[in-house]
Amino acid sequence: MSASFGARLTTAVSLRGPLCVGVDPHPALLDAWGLPATAAGLERFALTCVEALAGEVAVLKPQSAFFEAYGSAGVAVLERLIAEARAAGALVLLDVKRGDIGSTMAAYAEAYLADGSPLAADAVTLSPFLGFGSLAPAVDLAERTGRGVFVLALTSNPEGAAVQRAEAGGRSVAQAMVDEAAARNAGASPLGHVGLVVGATVGSTDLDLSGLHGAILAPGFGAQGATVADLSRVFGPSPRHVLPSSSREILRHGPDVTALRAAALRMRDSLAVAHLH
């Protein structure tokens, strides 16, 4: 990459706004689009999303599991989606939530973050349950290749709070993730390559995000109930560098390309008032 992930993301958001659209081809949605739950239906879904959205939004976020469910044919569709979405100008944040140790984590990093890998995206999501330090192979490789990582910090699923809000060493586990990410981003310009995942529906976070110097992926915007007002409530009155993520609220307008694109643009315009840049 010719520029850092932080620089590329900043440019993309300045040109296209902060909206991230999830590409989640679960079977019920394929059915609603009149598509079979097969690799061929999956491909039609993925390419329709690329046609409608990749030229308009800053970030597309395919959920890897829905592609992996079809085996090697599904992974091939995911590879094509990544390549074509990036060619159309969108950044691709691959939602894989990987987290492991040692050589296994290094192998995941090579799969998703190494130059030349057919699954290499602009960024990936990572799970830090084995400790933030265990993610080092991915964090380091992402920095070297101009890519990014988004580490789970405070998620919106109710089960997450028992772990993420637990106290460890006088701070919550979630705050520890914030602090670790901030340390990795120190000195980067305009933003560091380590982002966080903080659900848009979590309410009060009790997190000090002031020193993060990185982006925040905020799932739950739209069909899951989060609004522009919730973004301000969770991230402050002028929540900068937040990427609200929506999938069902937009994808339900498919398979018509024009309707799908129009839904994304309406949501993108609704975010313009939130000062997310």
Segment 162-204, tens digit of pLDDT: 999 999 889 999 999 999 999 999 999 999 999 999 998 888 7
- As a whole-number percent, the residues of the chain with pLDDT over 70 amount to 97
Average pLDDT value for residue range 229-255: 88
Q: Give the pLDDT of residue 223.
A: 64
Cα–Cα distances (Å) from 38 to 207, 230, 255, in that order, read 42, 37, 16
Position 276 pLDDT exceeds 80 = no
Other C-beta atoms within 10 Å of 65: how many? 13
Backbone angles phi, psi at 8, to 5 degrees: -65, -40
Residue 61 is among the residues annotated as catalytic for this protein: no
Would you say 226 and 220 are in contact if contact means Cβ atoms under 8 Å apart?
yes
Among candidate residues 8, 44, 61, 97, the one labeled active-site is: 97
Position 148 pLDDT exceeds 70 = yes
- As a whole-number percent, the residues of the chain with pLDDT over 90 amount to 84
Residue 242's nearest CA partner among 234, 250, 252 is 234
Confidence bin at 231 (pLDDT 50/70/90): confident
Position 71 pLDDT exceeds 70 = yes
Model's pTM, two decimal places? 0.96
Q: Give the pLDDT of residue 236.
A: 77
Task: Provide the number of structural domains found in the chain.
Answer: 1
CATH number for position 84: 3.20.20.70
Would you say 50 and 81 are in contact if contact means Cβ atoms under 8 Å apart?
yes
Domain boundaries, position 181? 5-274
Lowest mean pLDDT among 23-32, 47-56, 129-138, 234-243: 234-243
Q: Give the pLDDT of residue 229.
A: 79
DSSP collapsed to 3 states, the chain? CCCCHHHHHHHHHHHHCCCEEEECCCHHHHHHCCCCCCHHHHHHHHHHHHHHHCCCCCEEEEEHHHHHCCHHHHHHHHHHHHHHHHHCCCEEEEEEEECCCHHHHHHHHHHHHCCCCCCCCCEEEECCCCCHHHHHHHHHHHHHHCCEEEEEEECCCHHHHHHHCCEECCEEHHHHHHHHHHHHHCCCCCCCCEEEEECCCCCCCCCCCCCCCCCEEEECECCCCECHHHHHHHHCCCCCCEEEEECHHHHCCCCCHHHHHHHHHHHHHHHHHHCCC
Residue 113's nearest CA partner among 136, 147, 85 is 147
Give tens-digit pLDDT for 92-119. Answer: 999 999 999 999 999 999 999 999 999 9
* C-alpha to C-alpha distance for 142 and 94, rounded to whole angstroms: 13
Give tens-digit pLDDT for 23-54. Answer: 999 999 999 999 999 999 999 999 999 999 99
Give the contacts of 65 (CB within 8 A, at least 6 positions apart).
Answer: none
Q: Give the pLDDT of residue 237.
A: 65
Cα–Cα distances (Å) from 103 to 63, 93, 99, 142, in that order, read 24, 23, 12, 16
